[in-house]
Chains A and B, each alone.
Chain A
Amino acid sequence: MQQFLSSPGLQLVIAALFGAAGVYLLLPKPKMRSVSVGTFLVVASLAVLGLFLYTRFASPLLTRTGETDIMGSVMFWFFSGAATLFSLVLLTQRNPARGAIAFAFVILSTCGLFLLLAAPFLMAATIVVYAGAIIVTFLFVLMLSNVRGVSDENDRTREPLLGSLAGFAFLGLLLFTLHQSAPSLNSESSVVPVLLTTKERVSIEQAFLKAEAALSAETAIEQVDLAKQVRQLVAEGLEPTTYGSQVPLSRLDPVKKDPRVEAFLQSQSELLAATNKLDDALINNAATTKDQLKTVRDKLAVFRGSTDLPARNVANIGVLLYSEYLLAVEMAGTLLLVATIGAVTIANRRKGVMA
């Protein structure tokens, strides 16, 4: 059992084999269709898959110190389980009308997952669009399929064994790749501090900001250096230009007496005096600390999802759509128009009458 728990490849192979066999038995065909054995195998496969997800990718019920996300975990498992279950029903159901109903439930479950992913607008849009689409599909099923008796298209499948094997091999390989790329809780090489409280996170942020301020001081020093060079050149009676040509001092005299130039040079020297107090070691430290903190913060963000999304979802999506993605929006609108025209043209075509 311990061996089984500690070997992700074995778990995935077992899940994929069970799933392929179960789906093969459940797919409609004249011979070898066994609903009970198929259901058993598929449920076993889902159980192994759930175990894989639970043990491999950072146990979902893990409590941080002071923070517990039981509700989110329960909702995640509920919605994802429902989505998987109803998509299996859609896959293996002989009656396409029942398949359409199962698809409606799949859509509802994925909309729950959308909510968990902080996308309420997309959830509403999906429900509205797909509610219409599913109702239309349902009407088509009722209109076009002959519900009485057996039919070739509903009671047969094309290459059920090869199809299910290929699909589940694909799934297993995909999950194995995901597992290899995922940061695991147990690995020592992981830089990510796992048990991080909000207070610790805040202190990291503060250190980050301080490091950033130190770095901006460093850029100020660079500017002062530049100003110093300019000043030296001016004192030597030469004017640096963008072309690299040198101008004699006599032509600079009126500029040099300008009080604004004098004030500028004065302020630069004051800034220089202030920044000279920062020693180099401190600045170097700040730079390396900033890099390290940035790495930690990025990893933390990806691992934990602690990066925050803007609160006003709809308003922000709207701004993004009509500023950054304006061209894409226009093209999507054009695509819809063309698709509508095409659908009307295709559906109205009669035999022998070509428009």
Chain B
Amino acid sequence: MISLWHFLAIGAVLFSLGLIGFLTRRNFITMFLCAELMLQGVVINLLAFGRYHGTLQGQVFGLFIITVAACEAGLAMAFFLVLYKRAKTLDSSDWQDTREHGLAATLDLEPLKQPVVEEAPTLPVAGLVPEQPEVMMEEPSRV
């Protein structure tokens, strides 16, 4: 027997996970998706209340939330395009000059781990016999 409170709890979980994502992540697109996640939690709440009171009002409100989410998506994508054109990045911290007066800037002090880059293979000099491995019995792997 699934009661109303189970659905409310799932809505709360989705909402708070979206909240964490929106607060901590720095990529615009991930932040946008996390905001949509919060909206999903809210829609579940509305539908659950509508279901357990036996009315359709919750579903109507859910429809309006989807409408607003679509508007939000369109505007967000337009903003991302403009911001990317100006700064060539999706990092929201690159726009922290617009923050509130008196707040300290976020500085990245720790260096990121650079990935190990393999050197590109080069051809042997013409005229020399390339070094052959000792055993060539097995099929060469196709990696």
Contact = CB atoms under 8 A, between A and B. Distances in A.
Contact of A342 (B1, B55, B78, B106): B78
Contacts of B24: 27, 157-160, 163-164
Contact of B30 (A72, A96, A320): A96
B82 A304 contact: no
Interface residues of B, number: 82
A178 B9 contact: yes
A154 B89 CA distance: 11
Given A110-B14, A302-B52, A347 B60 contact: no
Nearest to A338: B71
Q: How large is the interface on A (under 10, 10 to 19, 20 to 34, 35 or more residues)?
A: 35 or more
Contacts of B108: 152, 156
B12 A175 contact: yes
Interface in B104-125: 106, 108, 110-115
Contact of B29 (A53, A140, A152, A159): A140
A40 interface: no
A244 B90 CA distance: 79
Interface of A: 23, 27, 29-31, 49, 53, 57-62, 64, 69, 72-73, 76, 80, 83-84, 87-88, 90-91, 96, 99-100, 103, 106-107, 110, 113-114, 116-119, 121-122, 125-126, 129-130, 133, 136-137, 140-141, 144-145, 149-160, 163-164, 166-168, 170-171, 174-175, 178-179, 181-182, 301-305, 307-310, 313, 316-317, 320-321, 325, 328, 332, 335-336, 339-340, 342-344, 346-347, 349, 351
Given A117-B51, A158-B106, 8 more contacts: A103-B36, A149-B114, A153-B90, A153-B93, A179-B5, A309-B51, A316-B56, A336-B71
27 contacts: A30-B113, A57-B6, A58-B3, A80-B6, A84-B14, A84-B17, A103-B36, A106-B40, A114-B47, A117-B51, A119-B51, A121-B59, A126-B43, A126-B66, A136-B77, A158-B93, A164-B24, A167-B20, A309-B54, A310-B56, A313-B56, A320-B60, A328-B64, A332-B67, A332-B68, A343-B78, A351-B86
